[in-house]
């Protein structure tokens, strides 16, 4: 099974914190790092060193989406603080769902001190060619 991991992060998040949270969420879903197709986040976070290093460690791309696109995605765990900070009530869940092209959410938002992650199953039929 191929999955997308949505990631939200505070500025300066250590990549080890991101990877630790990713590994915990993957284990919760019975998945492994090799199941990850890519990481997805807010477009303003695609140059965040901790996220780039985590994507490199996983051997996947880090893709970004605009806040407006993320805000249009219905999520189970919206956040008023995320809406105030970045203009969307969800980064991790919304990015995972948007990038999964219609695949379901497998692991809802999980938090650490400076990061959030969520996992969605990639829908290969919905993916752009």
Task: State pTM to two decimals.
Answer: 0.95
Rounded Cα distance, 61 and 71, in Å = 22
Residue 127 vs residue 99, higher pLDDT: 99
In a domain, residue 123? The reply is: no
In a domain, residue 125? The reply is: no
> Which pair of tokens denotes residue 59?
């051997």
In a domain, residue 101? The reply is: yes
Query: Per DSSP, what are the bridge partners of residue 64?
Result: 41
Residue 129: is its pLDDT beyond 60? no
Rounded Cα distance, 101 and 12, in Å = 29
In a domain, residue 8? The reply is: yes
Q: What are phi and psi of 70, to 5 degrees?
A: -65, -40
Q: What is the pLDDT of residues 44-69, one digit of tens each?
A: 999 999 999 999 999 999 999 999 99
CATH code, 107: 3.30.420.180
CA atoms within 13 A on the CB side of 40: 28
pLDDT confidence band for 97 (50 / 70 / 90)? very high
Count how many domains the chain has: 1
In a domain, residue 121? The reply is: no
Query: Per DSSP, what are the bridge partners of residue 65?
Result: 42
Give the domain range for residue 43: 3-116
In a domain, residue 64? The reply is: yes
């Amino acid at each position: 099974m191929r999955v997308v991991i949505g990631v939200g992060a505070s500025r300066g998040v250590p990549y080890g914190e991101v990877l630790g949270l990713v590994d915990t969420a993957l284990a919760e879903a019975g998945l492994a790092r090799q199941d990850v197709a890519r990481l997805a986040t807010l477009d303003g976070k695609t140059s965040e060193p901790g996220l780039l290093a985590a994507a490199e460690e996983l051997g996947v791309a880090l893709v970004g989406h605009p806040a407006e696109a993320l805000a249009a995605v219905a999520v189970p765990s919206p956040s008023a603080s995320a809406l105030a900070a970045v203009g969307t009530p969800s980064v991790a869940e919304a990015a995972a769902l948007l990038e999964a092209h219609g695949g379901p959410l497998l692991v809802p938002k999980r938090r650490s001190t400076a990061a959030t992650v969520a996992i969605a199953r990639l829908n290969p039929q919905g993916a752009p060619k």
